[in-house]
């Protein structure tokens, strides 16, 4: 199916474990983003990528690692999960300005609980 | 710096009109987005303003005043399905979005 998909939708893990959240988009959008959403906060940017093999830190990158070997995939890894990383994680991709005003399209989210 | 203010929660009646305000301070302003987010779901695009004035799209309209750092989202003929959070997101000159915490809109019959 076309669009942007995240997996898993729900994940429970323990502190200290490594966790990888997957994101896949079929539009060939250059830009992709990872956000976390917590109660009382707006979406906070963790990392973003302008193209394959180009990534950059956002507002809250500590404790996270990303890679982008292919345009369509942008996985997010928590190297050693902490309770403070319990959150809802959204992946997004951005349409080109000339086609759709740089609108960001979001995946359904991954709800992560770190015990 | 950057700061976004929008009300935490609003309540309105089915069939009525509601206006959700957003004030912002952001360096390198380059437009403003409104997104809708139903509970447990992803944000979805509603509107985009880059010039001053009103953009109308069906029951939803969005207004921008760049000089005042102010925007509002106007929802008319409210329906129960409009119960959601509404996120204000100014865009910076580097095309990154800065997200407000959102306004939870509760619609009552």
pLDDT digits (tens, 9 = 90+) for A39-62: 888 899 999 999 999 999 999 999
pLDDT higher than 70, residue A82: yes
Q: How far is CA A68 from CA A19, A23, A52, A59, in A?
A: 17, 10, 5, 19
Which of A58, A102, A107 faces B42 most closely, judged by CB atoms? A107
pLDDT higher than 80, residue A99: no
CB-CB under 8 Å, B42 with A48: no
pLDDT band at A1 (very low <50, low <70, confident <90, very high): low
DSSP assignments along chain A, one per residue: --SEEEE-SEEEE-TT--EEEEEEESS--SEEEEEEE-TTS--EEEEEEEETTEEEE-SS-TTEEE--SSTTB--EEESS--GGG-EEEEEEEE--HHHHTT-EEE---EEEEE-
Q: Is B91 on the interface with A (CB under 8 A)?
A: yes
Average pLDDT, chain B: 94
CB-CB under 8 Å, A94 with B95: yes
pLDDT for res A100: 67
Percent of chain B with pLDDT over 90: 86
Q: Is B99 on the interface with A (CB under 8 A)?
A: yes
CA distance B14 to chain A (A): 26
pLDDT higher than 60, residue B37: yes
pLDDT band at A93 (very low <50, low <70, confident <90, very high): very high
Each residue's pLDDT tens digit, A4-39: 999 999 999 999 999 999 999 999 899 999 999 998
CB-CB under 8 Å, A45 with B42: no
pLDDT for res A71: 94
Residues 6+ apart with CB under 8 A from A66: A34, A46, A47, A49, A55, A74, A75, A76, A77
CA distance B42 to chain A (A): 5
pLDDT for res B29: 87
pLDDT for res A98: 65
Which of A102, A106, A107 faces B95 most closely, judged by CB atoms? A102
pLDDT higher than 60, residue A115: yes
Q: Is B70 on the interface with A (CB under 8 A)?
A: no
Q: Is B102 on the interface with A (CB under 8 A)?
A: yes
pLDDT band at B98 (very low <50, low <70, confident <90, very high): very high
Which of B31, B41, B97 faces A104 most closely, judged by CB atoms? B97
Asked if B43 contacts B21 with a C-beta cutoff of 8 angstroms, the reply is no
């Amino acid at each position: 199916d076309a669009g942007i998909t995240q997996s898993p939708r729900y994940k429970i893990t323990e502190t200290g474990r490594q966790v990888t959240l997957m994101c896949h988009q079929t539009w060939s959008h250059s830009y992709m983003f990872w956000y976390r959403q917590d109660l009382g906060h707006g979406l906070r940017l963790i990392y973003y990528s302008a193209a394959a093999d180009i990534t950059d830190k956002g507002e809250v990158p500590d404790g996270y690692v990303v890679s982008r070997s292919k345009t369509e995939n942008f996985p997010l890894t928590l190297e050693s999960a902490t309770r403070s990383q319990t959150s809802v994680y959204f992946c997004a991709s951005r349409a080109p300005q000339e086609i759709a005003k740089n609108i960001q399209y979001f995946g359904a989210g991954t709800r992560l609980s770190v015990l | 710096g950057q700061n976004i203010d929008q009300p935490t929660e609003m309540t309105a009646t089915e069939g009525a009109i509601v206006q959700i305000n957003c004030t912002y301070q952001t360096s390198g302003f380059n437009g403003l987005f409104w997104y809708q987010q139903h509970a447990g779901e992803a944000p979805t695009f509603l509107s985009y303003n880059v010039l001053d004035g009103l953009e109308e799209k069906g029951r939803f309209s969005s207004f921008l005043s760049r000089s005042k750092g102010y925007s509002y989202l106007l929802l008319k003929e409210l329906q129960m399905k409009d119960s959601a959070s509404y996120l204000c997101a100014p865009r910076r000159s580097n095309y990154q979005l800065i997200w407000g915490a959102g306004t939870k809109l509760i619609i009552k019959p």
